[in-house]
Structures are given as structure tokens and as C-alpha cells.
Structure 1
Amino acid sequence: MAGKKPQPLILAVQRQYIISKLLSSFTFNEKILQSINNAFELIWKKEIPAYYKIFHNIDRSSIYSQKIGHLLIKGVSICEDRNSTWKADMSDKFTVVNNFGNRPNVCFFGLFDGHHGASAAELTSMELPVLLLHQLSKFDPSYQMTLEEKQIINSFHTVFREEYIAIEDLFSSINKKTRAMRSEYEDIHKAFAKAFWRMDRLLRLGRKEVSRVRWSGCSAATCVLEGSIKSPYPYKNWRKTNNYDRLAESSSSQKMPEIISGILHVANTGNVQAVLCRNGKGFCLTKEHTTRNINERRRVLQNGAVISSHEPYGLLEGQINTTRGLGFHGNLKLKKFVIPAPQTISVPIDDLCQFLILATNGLWEVLDTNEVTALAMTTFQMYKQIYNSIIRNKSSPANSETNITESDSDIHVLFQYNPESEECLSTANSKENLSNSKYSNNFIYNPENIERVPPEMTHHEPCSEKETYKPHSINGVPKSEKKSGTESFYEGAAEYVSHELVNAALEAGSRDNITVMVILLNGSEYQFLM
């Protein structure tokens, strides 16, 4: 060390590497890890001379804006951060599909939090939307599959055999307790259940897995948003009136009133959560399937699981805190308890719904639903004020005021399906082994056949340091330079809100990968005009 200046980054790199290895090994508890971290902090302060300038909170977040043509959506943005202080790799993946099933005003959103690697999350982000679309098209012909999507489904025929399909039907069947709640959305919830079940079966093939003893898995939150336009005056009633012709003639000069509404279908397993903000109030639409959930703890313990005590809520079999998810097939004992049964729910979407937020565990481990909702509302208002001040400097348009009619802020659940855990566990020890099948050797996503994925499906791909960027900004607020008017406002607002939520999680001490998807809905327009 004599005669040489100390390297300030060496200790930081060593600390990051050791903490990541210790966290992945589950050898030490939180108290010991904190002691190790404190020791590194002391060495850091002692060894680095004052003339070195240390930069804290370097912004390494990546932002992805999505162009969505949907009646209910104003803007979509995804912001992610590896959280390099605690994580060596990024395991979160996301998928956005516009015009899902070749249906206008129908979008698919998926967010996947990888565990023990990104292989399961990556495959799920590509294949689960296709599996879901296949199930939806069986009972609703309006969902149409492309030739490429049909080829993907056909390549799975050796995996889903007759005996497997019988078990799958049992898994996705509605139990007796919810049989009385039959709804027009029951088929959609069954489609979600079968798609999750089939995706879990495909992950048993072990594609892209790098370890023989610890295969990856993932938590998942998926949404299908359907939008429609309705008239308050039914068409058949117009026909019955003598004034129909006069109404039709006057429609050219005066636009008929329209009501834009929709339905949001959500399915999740694990710790990826979805929050809907309606009329200023946040509603969590997903269930947390972890050892912190009392019902989940009871389920796994009754089936013989062991929950360790060296974490706040314990780790299932000493490995993970999630109790439902896709994958995890490397450990048969662990897989006995980690089931792929999704929690599903359908809720109406109207003009009072302001935004939908999907986020991985990195956000929810440090912030709750109310905090995230308040932060999103506040950052949206901050962006609006700066945006309006810039517009006023360029011109002085008349201020328009829009009054929002008061409405009940409660979310009305149209249909909810909670599958019985026992039915899922009964299939956990299936003896079917297809590890040597033709499918397992041939159907692997690679540069030669990646074009089989539909072109309108947007997947997350790992970014290099050069691809990581911070959006253009005005006084710290992201801005699109190519667009103008309200379109650029909502796109920039979605970017800003998602970015600030990620920053808030980092400041709050998150120790996991962080990915936040912000979907601004029509209700945000009223907030913009206020």
C-alpha cells in the first residue's frame, strides 16, 4: 500500500460481492449480516483519504415507455433498478401486449419477480401471455391467435398429455364454496388458472437452468384490461321511438354521449403486487403469498413444511419466503409447498380510476399500499405543476375547470376466485417425466427462433450499462421531446412517477431488485385538469 493511492471502489465492490453471496447462501442471519456491513463501513471510512470525492445514490435506473392504444389508458411506463448495493444480478422481467388477442382496447400486463436467477421469470414473461391467450380463445372466439402463437402452442403438445389435462382440470375447477358465485368472468378466471398451471409445468423442463440443485422460480402478477364504449341510450330504444330518424340526423351535428368503461382481470402468485388508485384511494388487488400471510403459513405448516426462524417471518424450508409461484422445480421438497395456484379478481374500471401500479418485492418490502398511493399522487401533482408552469411561460391559455362528481370510492369486486390449496397439492408429486422429450431439446428461445414471439409483445431484455439511461428532464421532470400536448404530458408523467417510486424504495432501504410499472388511467385526466 505504501506509495500507492488507495482504490476507493475496491471495498465497495468487495462488500457488494460478499453481501450478495451471503444473502444467497442463507448461512447468516440478519444480525450477522448487519455486523459485516458495519465492519466494511468502518474500513471504508478509515482507508479512503479526504481528497477522494464519493458519489452517493448514483442513478442507474432504466425507464421504458410503452405506446398503448387503449380507451382507458393515458400512459404507461416501467422503471427498474438492480439495486446494486444488495443484488449482483437483475431478475425482474415484464411484458406488455397491446391489442391482446387481436382485440382493440384489450391489453395484457405482466410483471415477474425472479428467485434464484432470472431463467423462470424470463421464460414466463414470453410464454405465459401465449398460454393465457390460448385458454381465452377456447371459450371466447373474439380472442384470436396469430400463426406464430399457434406454432408455439403446438410445440407444447408433447408436454400436455391426456393424464396431465385431467389433473389440470381438477386444479382449475371452482370449489363448492364459490360455486354459488357463478359469473360471466368465471371462464376468464379458469383461463388464468390453467395458464399458470401449464406455465409451471413447462418450467419443469429445466430450460436455461444453470444449477442442478437450485432451479429458479418467479412470482407473477398479470392483468388483462378490457375497454369498451357504451351509450347511455340503448340502440333498440332509439328504433322504437318515432323520433329516431330525427335523432340520427342530429347526431352529425351533436355528438351522442358516450360512457367509457372497462373490466380489469388480475391474477397473481407470490409477492408481486398490484394497486389500483380510484378517487384518491388505493386498493390492493392482489394477495401476498408469503410466510407473512397467516393463511399461507397455516397451509404449508399443515402439509409438513418447515419455516426457519432467522428472518422476520421465516423462510420456507430455509430458502425463500414465497409460498406460491412458478418454477422452483430443482428442490422437490420445496416444490411440494410452493404451488402455482393464482389468486384472481375482476373489478370494474371507470373514469374515477386514476392509475394502476404493478411492482415487485423491492418496492413492497419497504412501502405499503397507502404510502405508494400517496407518493404516486404527490409525484403526479409535482410533475403537473412543473409542466403547467412551462406551458404558461410559452403561452397563457384560459384555465379550464372541471368539476368531478362525488362517487363512492369503494372498489366493487365483480368476481373473485380463490382455488383450494388441497386440490393443487394433490398434483405436486406427479410422476410424469419428460426431461428427455423432443420438446425439451428443441423448444428453447434463441436468436434463431425468437421471431416466433408476436411482434406486438414487449418483453424486458437485460440492458448493458450503455443502454441504461435517464430520461430527458425539465427541472428534474422527465419529458418527451418528440411529442407535444397531453400525450407527451401523460407519457412523461408515467415515467416520472415510476422513477420516483423506485427512488423512494432505494431511499427506504430496499434490498431487492425493484421494478415499478405505472399505468395512468382516464381518472388521471381529471387530476391533470384540476
Structure 2
Amino acid sequence: TCALGHIIDHTKPDITVLCELCKCFLHVSELKTHTIYHNALKLYKFKEVPNKIDVILRRRDLLIQRMQRLNNISTESYFKYVKTINDGFQILKRTIEPYMYAENGCLYENREASCVQGFSFVPRNRLFLSIGMCTSQNKQNKADMEDTMRFIDCFGGKEKFAYVGLFDGYNGKASSSLCREHFHDAILFEMSKLINEMNGVEAEETLINRLYARMVDPSSEFSNVKNIGDVYRLAYLKMDHLLSRGVNETSSVRWSGTSACTAVIVTNDKIDELLADLENDDNPDDEKKGRIVLGHIHVANCGSVEALGIRGGEAFLLTQKHTPANKHERERILGA
């Protein structure tokens, strides 16, 4: 391997080129990725890669903050530049922790052979530093990628709301694709009954809500929404009803299916005051930090897709798998 960790294929002619910037010899196959590496250094204004990732992270945050101050930049250009900044961060980070991306070739080259697709950006919701989503396909086991995902900023027309959906499809992509296109409409419509700030008028006329309204009387007790649990109960039931129609299914023997994990993130209206209070406190104790609520995450899942939370350096599950390994799920299946 070379200094940057690139694997040199010795079965090919050993032709090297001298890099004028770092004065090292490179195999010809490394030229493209090495150029990207130097472009990342130039973007972050580093002469060489720092020893600590925190230094790169602070520089990344500074670059993004400068972008956010620009008033005459289009949304498309903003997302494009932020993606460039994030890609540069990942490239420089890889030189410090190369083991982190041993199976992710797209960080240097977005080749079709890598089978990795993804995107990243900074949403308007203040609870997010950034959003990144990607999928990595194993063509040895699956010919086609069957997983889908969806992120919606300003969910329900308000910056304080955001929606995230992840759908793990199997036996085809029809089910996961339907979830990506329609699930959020069901959640938005039901949640707007509970939260007046959310605009669910347009969602009421969407396919998933109109079909369900024909089957169940919207004024019945079953359709009452009293809490977030009712929101997800009805939304998941609507999605299951839509999937049962077999839309876009190609097999008459076995239809596709999907696991799902959805979340709505809500920012506290007083987040600016809370952040300012924390910033002005030179030494806030853990008890004070624990009392500050910057927002809420309303999450629900079905199947084997799970949500993971991290607090104080400790990881914990926000959900449970709905598989026979789960005692309650096993009892439900046996009792059905």
C-alpha cells in the first residue's frame, strides 16, 4: 500500500508518477483519488492532514457556517457546496482512521462497481448538525437494491418538524418504494390532528389517506387520535392497507415486503434561548443539561429495522425488533 493506504495491484505494470505537492511517488491507478485528496486539503486550507479528527470537524463546521450566512445563494447551490464540504471531511478523516471506511469505496470514487449510493446536507431543523443517508448493496446476495429511504425537511410546512423514513425491502422493491412515496402522508395527516401547527390539508387528499377513508369511517372511535401512539397506529395500518393492494407487484405467488422505521423530529420553540443559556454558562453541570429539552423524537418501527440513540457516549436502542426472537412478538404470532 501507499502512504494514503491505497492498495497497489502488482499484477499491473509498476508505473509511478511523482506528486509535486507531497513529493511522493504514486501508482498511476492512484492519480484520481490522490487529486481528490489534495482538493480536500485545499478546500479545508490545510497544508497537511491534522492528527486529530476534531480539528477537521471544527474547520468543517466553520465552512458550513460561512455558507449559511450567504443570502444570495440558491438552495441547489447551497446543497451542492455543503455536499462538497462533507465529502472533503470524509476523505481527510479516512487518512486518520482508514479502517472506518474499509468497505466504502464511494468516498474516493463513486464508481458503479462500489454499489454505494448516498447523499448528505444540512437541514433547516435546528436539532440536526447534518443529515446523511446511504445504501450499500451486496450484489453477491441480491441483484437489485431493495431498500429505500426518505427525509423531509419542514415536515408539515414548519421548520421545527422533520421526517425520516427507512425501509428495508425484501423479495422485490415494490413495498419499500410505496412506503417511501406514501408513508409520510399518512403520518402527516394523523399527526396534524394532534398538533395544530402542522398543515395536513394536502395530505388528506393523497392516495393512502383517501383509500383508507373508504374502508373506515373517519368519525369512528377507532380513528380518534389522542396521542402519538394513535398517530403511528393509524399511519402504519394505512400503509399496510395500501400494501395489501399489491401495487406494482410482479409475482402472483409471493409479493414483496418491507420492514420500516419512521421518525418525526420536533424542535423546541425556545431552542435559541436554551442554546444561548448553555453557551453563557461557563460550567454547566450534568443536572442542568439533563433538564434542558431541545426537542423530541417520535419514532416507530415494524420488523427488523431499528433506531439507535447515543447519549453521553453510550449507545442505546430506541426501538425493538418485531421478530420471533422478541417474546411479545412471538406470543402475538402464536396467538394469531
Q: In which range does the TM-score fall when normalised by the shorter chain?
A: 0.5 to 0.7
Shift in Å at residue 231 of structure 1? 7.9
SS at match of 1:215: coil
Alignment match, 2:254: 214
Q: Do the aligned partners of 1:71 and 1:260 also contact (CA within 8 Å) in 2?
A: no
Aligned positions of 1:372-411 closer than 5 A: none
CA distance in 2, matches of 1:231, 1:99: 16
Shift in Å at residue 232 of structure 1? 11
Shift in Å at residue 281 of structure 1? 0.6
Aligned: 1:270 with 2:323: no
Q: Do the aligned partners of 2:185 and 2:209 also contact (CA within 8 Å) in 1?
A: no
| TM-score normalised according to structure 2 size | 0.57
Alignment match, 2:151: 96
Shift in Å at residue 58 of structure 1? 8.2
Shift in Å at residue 123 of structure 1? 0.6
SS at match of 1:74: coil
Aligned positions of 1:282-293 closer than 5 A: 282-293=315-326
AA at the equivalent of 1:212: S
Select 1:197's aligned residue among 237, 256, 271. Answer: 237
- Name the structure where helix makes up a greater proportion of residues: 2
Change (3 A) 1:81 1:232: closer
Change (3 A) 1:214 1:167: farther
AA at the equivalent of 1:106: F
Q: Do the aligned partners of 1:97 and 1:108 also contact (CA within 8 Å) in 2?
A: yes
Alignment match, 1:80: 135
CA distance in 2, matches of 1:295, 1:232: 42
Q: Give percent identity, aligned residues only.
A: 29
Aligned positions of 1:492-503 closer than 5 A: none
Note the alpha carbon deviations across 1:451-483, whole angstroms, 9 max, x for none. Answer: xxxxxxxxxxxxxxxxxxxxxxxxxxxxxxxxx
Note the alpha carbon deviations across 1:316-365, whole angstroms, 9 max, x for none. Answer: xxxxxxxxxxxxxxxxxxxxxxxxxxxxxxxxxxxxxxxxxxxxxxxxxx
CA distance in 2, matches of 1:92, 1:110: 11
Shift in Å at residue 157 of structure 1? 2.9
User: Comparing both chains, which one has the higher relative contact order based on Cα–Cα distances under 8 Å and sequence gaps of 6 or more?
Assistant: 1
SS at match of 1:71: coil
AA at the equivalent of 1:261: L
Alignment match, 1:299: 332
Change (3 A) 1:158 1:62: closer
CA distance in 1, matches of 2:268, 2:174: 36
Change (3 A) 1:96 1:301: same
AA at the equivalent of 1:117: G
SS at match of 2:307: strand
SS at match of 2:329: helix
AA at the equivalent of 1:127: H
Q: Which 5+ residue runs of structure 2 have no aligned equivalent? A: 1-101, 106-113, 282-288
Shift in Å at residue 111 of structure 1? 0.2
CA distance in 1, matches of 2:156, 2:250: 34
How many residues are treated as equivalent by the alignment?
214
Note the alpha carbon deviations across 1:97-156, whole angstroms, 9 max, x for none. Answer: 001111112111000011211101101111110111011112322101364x44425x75
Aligned: 1:188 with 2:228: yes
AA at the equivalent of 1:190: D
Change (3 A) 1:114 1:151: same
Shift in Å at residue 271 of structure 1? 0.3
Q: Do the aligned partners of 2:204 and 2:210 also contact (CA within 8 Å) in 1?
A: no
AA at the equivalent of 1:65: S
CA distance in 2, matches of 1:220, 1:229: 29
Bigger mean CA offset, 267-276 vs 73-82:
73-82
Q: Do the aligned partners of 1:230 and 1:260 also contact (CA within 8 Å) in 2?
A: no
Change (3 A) 1:233 1:93: closer
CA distance in 2, matches of 1:159, 1:119: 19
SS at match of 1:128: helix
Q: Which 5+ residue runs of structure 1 have no aligned equivalent? A: 1-55, 174-184, 235-250, 304-530
Q: Do the aligned partners of 1:221 and 1:266 also contact (CA within 8 Å) in 2?
A: yes
Change (3 A) 1:159 1:275: closer
Alignment match, 2:210: 157
Shift in Å at residue 295 of structure 1? 2.2
Change (3 A) 1:139 1:295: closer
Shift in Å at residue 86 of structure 1? 1.3
Change (3 A) 1:225 1:57: closer
CA distance in 1, matches of 2:267, 2:103: 40
Shift in Å at residue 186 of structure 1? 5.3
For the pair shown, which has the larger CA radius of gyration, 1 or 2?
Answer: 1
SS at match of 2:213: coil
AA at the equivalent of 1:135: E
Q: What's the RMSD between the two structures over aligned residues? A: 3.3
Alignment match, 1:142: 197
Change (3 A) 1:232 1:130: closer
Q: Do the aligned partners of 1:69 and 1:98 also contact (CA within 8 Å) in 2?
A: yes
AA at the equivalent of 1:209: E
AA at the equivalent of 2:228: I
| TM-score normalised according to structure 1 size | 0.37
CA distance in 2, matches of 1:217, 1:188: 25
Alignment match, 2:184: 129
CA distance in 1, matches of 2:272, 2:299: 28
Superposed structure 1 runs of 4+ greater than 6 Å apart:
231-234, 255-258
Shift in Å at residue 169 of structure 1? 5.2
CA distance in 2, matches of 1:156, 1:282: 36
AA at the equivalent of 1:288: K
CA distance in 2, matches of 1:167, 1:200: 20
Alignment match, 2:163: 108
